[in-house]
Chain A
Amino acid sequence: MSSSSRLVAINIPVGQHVTGKVAGFTLNLDTIWTTVAACVIVVGMGLYLARNATSGVPGRLQLFWEGVVGWITDQVGQSLGPKYRHVVPLAVSLFMLILVANWLEILPGLYHNTDYSPAPTADVNLTYALGALVFILTNAAGIRARGIGGFLKHLTRKPRVMTPLHILEELAKPLTLALRLFGNLFSGGIMIALLISFPLAFAPASLIFTPLWKLFDMFIGVIQAFIFALLTILYYQFAIEEGH
């Protein structure tokens, strides 16, 4: 009885961050640290690889990067054509950074209490930033491809009555992009917090399910990074496509 009441009483912090204030802006320092950690890992891997990569038999790290770069290059080539080769670095950076950021959740307790170590992607600040960037870049590409008139005409295309929905759709794209990533990672973190918060009587279950969940969470991390990069390329495609 007491354990069930304890279960109910568990307080899982939501939207709680270590904050600091710089020039009037509130900064989530924990998110920034983990972001910096993810950036350092991605850039470190990349630079190490750029120095040590071989055109002979590749190592595992190189194989992984080559796989990602090859997949995104193919995807961009098929969806956008050779004119949009500059999208490849964007999509690769998005995939790599999101993937590493997602996997940081697997590490026990980068900050906070040991129950809950957030991935930076479980903070909307990161996902909004990436979504906004993709929104700006894809629409800029659309305007460049169609001209400002063509861009507006595309938004107000027939039937005219649909115009508000088209605008809403465009606004929904970056928002869903950001919230999908955030929601998946945020909930993954809550799952881990829940599993670890099992009362002592359920310790064996916790010991079994926490690793299982973390493995599954790694899988989700790959999927979400994949979706984010793929949708970025597709949004580019929708933006530049004729007669959509």
Chain B
Amino acid sequence: MEVASSNFLVPNGTFIVELAAFLIVLLILRRYVLPPISKIIDERQATIRKALADAEEAKQRAAEAEEEYKRIVGEARQQARSVVEEANRQAEQARADRREQAEAEYQRIVASAYAEIDAQTRRARQELRQQVADLAIVVAERVIGEGIDRQAQSALIDRTISEVTDSSSDLGQLAGSQAGGSQTAGERA
């Protein structure tokens, strides 16, 4: 080993060594180093591409989900509206039904009241007629001074009473006031 000077532009045996050294580096890098690095670069690019694609897909899915959500909410609103309408309709129906029932009940009560009044009127008239007949017989016996065969005379009496009651203002007024009262009650209902 020595320190020597020479023309620095002229190569020597070192040239071969340098060439060999570079070729060794080249072979090692080409064989063992660059393939994994290239593979990793490709992998990363693939990962990035995939991530971007995934993001795009996720975005699309989100948009679809929102669309679906809007649709469902819209349907739910629609359903709620129809339920409310149905309930309103039913309530209206129930109210109408009840009103109808009440009306019918009222009519029934009024009708039975009329019937009752009619029956009572008839009974009162019957009793009155009976009393008037008896009274007439008594008055007639007293006027004639002898007994009257009630059976024999009853037809005459009845006719007389009918004539009297038909023309009698008292009885006519009595019957008229009763009928008028009922009518007023009916109008009031």
Residues of A participating in the B interface, judged by any CB pair closer than 8 Å: 13-20, 22, 24-29, 31-32, 35-36, 39, 42-43, 46-47, 49-50, 53-56, 58, 62, 65-66, 69-70, 73, 88-90, 92-94, 96-97, 120, 123-126, 128-130, 132-133, 179, 186
Contact = CB atoms under 8 A, between A and B. Distances in A.
B40 interface: yes
Contacts of B11: 124-125, 128-129
19 contacts: A15-B7, A15-B8, A19-B2, A26-B6, A32-B14, A39-B22, A42-B29, A43-B28, A46-B29, A46-B33, A53-B40, A62-B40, A66-B37, A89-B26, A89-B30, A93-B29, A125-B11, A125-B17, A129-B18
B152 interface: no
Nearest to A65: B37
B12 A125 contact: yes
Interface residues on B, range: 35 or more
A35 B34 contact: no
Given A43-B29, A47-B32, A55-B40, A27 B13 contact: yes
Given A43-B29, A93-B30, A132-B19, A124 B13 contact: no
Contact of B43 (A39, A47, A55): A55
B16 interface: yes
Given A16-B5, A17-B4, A133-B19, A47 B13 contact: no
B18 A31 contact: yes
B5 A29 contact: no
Contacts of A62: 37, 40
Given A49-B33, A65-B37, A69-B37, A129 B4 contact: no
B32 A46 contact: yes
Given A26-B12, A54-B40, A126 B18 contact: yes
Given A18-B3, A19-B4, A89-B30, A25 B41 contact: no
B61 to A, nearest CB: 26
Contacts of A47: 28, 32-33
Given A16-B3, A42-B29, A25 B16 contact: yes
Given A49-B33, A128-B15, A130-B22, 6 more contacts: A18-B2, A39-B25, A46-B29, A54-B40, A62-B40, A129-B19
Interface in B20-47: 21-26, 28-30, 32-34, 36-38, 40-41, 43-44, 47
A120 B44 CA distance: 36
Given A97-B22, A125-B14, A128-B11, A50 B4 contact: no
Contact of B17 (A27, A46, A90, A130): A27
A16 B36 CA distance: 41
B143 interface: no
Nearest to A125: B14
Given A29-B1, A89-B34, A42 B25 contact: yes
Contacts of B41: 66, 69-70
A16 B41 CA distance: 44
A22 B13 contact: yes
Contact of B1 (A16, A18, A97): A18
A93 B26 contact: yes
A179 B13 CA distance: 18
Interface in B120-167: none
Contacts of A26: 4, 6, 12-14
A28 B37 CA distance: 34
A9 B10 CA distance: 26
B22 A133 contact: yes
B89 to A, nearest CB: 65
Contacts of B33: 43, 46-47, 49-50
A124 B9 contact: yes
B14 A123 contact: yes
Q: What are the 4 closest A-B residue pairs judged by CB atoms, nearest first?
A: A25-B13, A15-B8, A46-B33, A125-B14
